[in-house]
Chain A
Amino acid sequence: MILDEEVLAVVLAVTVVASVLGAALILRPEVVEPFTAIALLNEECKMGDYPRHAAEGSNLTLCIYVYNHMGKPVYYMVVYKLGSAETLPTNTTPSPQKPLASWRGVLGHGENATFLVEVPVRAPSPGAVNATLIFELWIYDTSTSSWSYTGRWAHLHVQLVSAQRA
């Protein structure tokens, strides 16, 4: 045999590994770990330079980024709440504060949406000098026909100042 048998064996071994790997890649599920994401951006829809102060009763312009990696299209809702460091949501429960505004949309798998929002800022409790702007991500559960909290949220702490100082 002109082609050395050992060389052929090595080439075959490499080919077998490569082909099994290729087949596994074709058969693997499209999404191994489904997730959604939400991020808070500044009014130029960029990270950083977030407002630190806000006049009570004023409106703040911010930008929201939402990403869908659930392996299916999702109907999402971003819920805005005003609270404090003590009323932040957790990975499993939303903030107990009352929703003040919401924005909805549909995203296909792998798609994202970035949109500007104008939110009212006021003291979460009488006399409070700080406020926490909370944005929670909810998705519509088609099996129960109800909204469910994703465990994802973004928040921003701002110091409340008088309208003149702001």
Chain B
Amino acid sequence: MKHAYWIALLLLVFCSLIPVAVGENLGGEELDARVGKLLKDLEELYSKGVGIEGLVKELNKAIDLYYNGSRDEALEVINNIEKEVQALKSVADRVALEKALIKYASVAAALSIPLVVYFALPRLYLYLWYYTRRKWIVEGGRE
């Protein structure tokens, strides 16, 4: 009788622990928190000009898997995305610098067009003017 009491107590404790353990691994809020944290990193990467289309697709896949009952698979996909995000974070600053350089170089090029036109257009026009008349013969002259 005493043993039965202890077994029943142990079973009760064991059963109450099962949902807690599952919930801690990937409950709805847990998934939101993990996706939210990843999203913060993705926002940062996107703002620095890093392409994140593939990661967004993978994250969607993880969410679909989770809500279709494949929780472990979803967790694995999320872990892989986290690793990839960490790798991309290390090159994000370089990408941001490259993008900024291209952007400001484009602005400088656009703003220098009037200067180029001011100096080059009269010379180009002069060159073309003479080029189109290169076979002309000057006739007449002093009587």
Which of B4-12, B29-37, B89-97, B135-143 forms part of the interface with chain A? Answer: B29-37
A105 touches B40 (CB 8 A): no
* Known contacts A8-B121, A75-B35, A75-B36: A105-B103 contact under CB 8 Å: no
Closest to B129 in A: A2
Task: Pick the residue among B40, B117, B118 that contacts A142 (CB under 8 A).
Answer: B40
Q: Once bound together, how far apart are the Cα atoms of A8 and B125, in whole Å? A: 11
* Known contacts A3-B121, A73-B52: A105-B60 contact under CB 8 Å: yes
* Known contacts A26-B106, A108-B52: A140-B122 contact under CB 8 Å: no
Q: Is the C-beta of B21 less than 8 angstroms from some C-beta in chain A?
A: no
Task: Pick the residue among A8, A15, A75 that contacts B122 (CB under 8 A).
Answer: A8
Q: For window 7-45 of chain B, which residues contact chain A by CB distance below 8 Å? A: 32-33, 35-37, 39-40, 42-43
Chain A positions 2 through 13: 1 when the CB is less than 8 Å from some CB of chain B, otherwise 0: 110000100110
Q: Is the C-beta of A100 less than 8 angstroms from some C-beta in chain B?
A: no
Determine the chain A residues whose CB is within 8 A of the CB of B121 once the complex forms.
Answer: 3, 8, 11
B111 touches A140 (CB 8 A): no
Task: Pick the residue among A3, A16, A18, A72 that contacts B43 (CB under 8 A).
Answer: A72
The count of residues in chain B whose C-beta lies closer than 8 Å to any C-beta of chain A is 34
* Known contacts A16-B114, A23-B111: A73-B63 contact under CB 8 Å: no
Determine the chain A residues whose CB is within 8 A of the CB of B53 once the complex forms.
Answer: 108
* Known contacts A15-B117, A73-B52, A106-B39: A140-B32 contact under CB 8 Å: yes
Determine the chain B residues whose CB is within 8 A of the CB of A106 once the complex forms.
Answer: 35, 39, 56, 59-60, 63
Task: Pick the residue among B36, B113, B126 that contacts A145 (CB under 8 A).
Answer: B36
Q: For window 64-79 of chain A, which residues contact chain B by CB distance below 8 Å? A: 72-75
A interface residues, Cβ below 8 angstroms from B: 1-3, 8, 11-12, 15-16, 18-20, 22-23, 26-27, 72-75, 103-109, 111, 140, 142, 145, 147
B interface residues, Cβ below 8 angstroms from A: 32-33, 35-37, 39-40, 42-43, 46-47, 52-53, 56, 59-60, 63-64, 67, 103, 106-107, 110-114, 117-118, 121-122, 125-126, 129
Given contacts A2-B125, A3-B126, A22-B110, 19 further A-B contacts (CB under 8 A): A2-B122, A2-B129, A8-B118, A12-B117, A18-B113, A19-B110, A19-B112, A19-B113, A20-B111, A22-B113, A23-B111, A26-B103, A26-B110, A75-B35, A105-B63, A105-B64, A108-B46, A140-B39, A145-B36
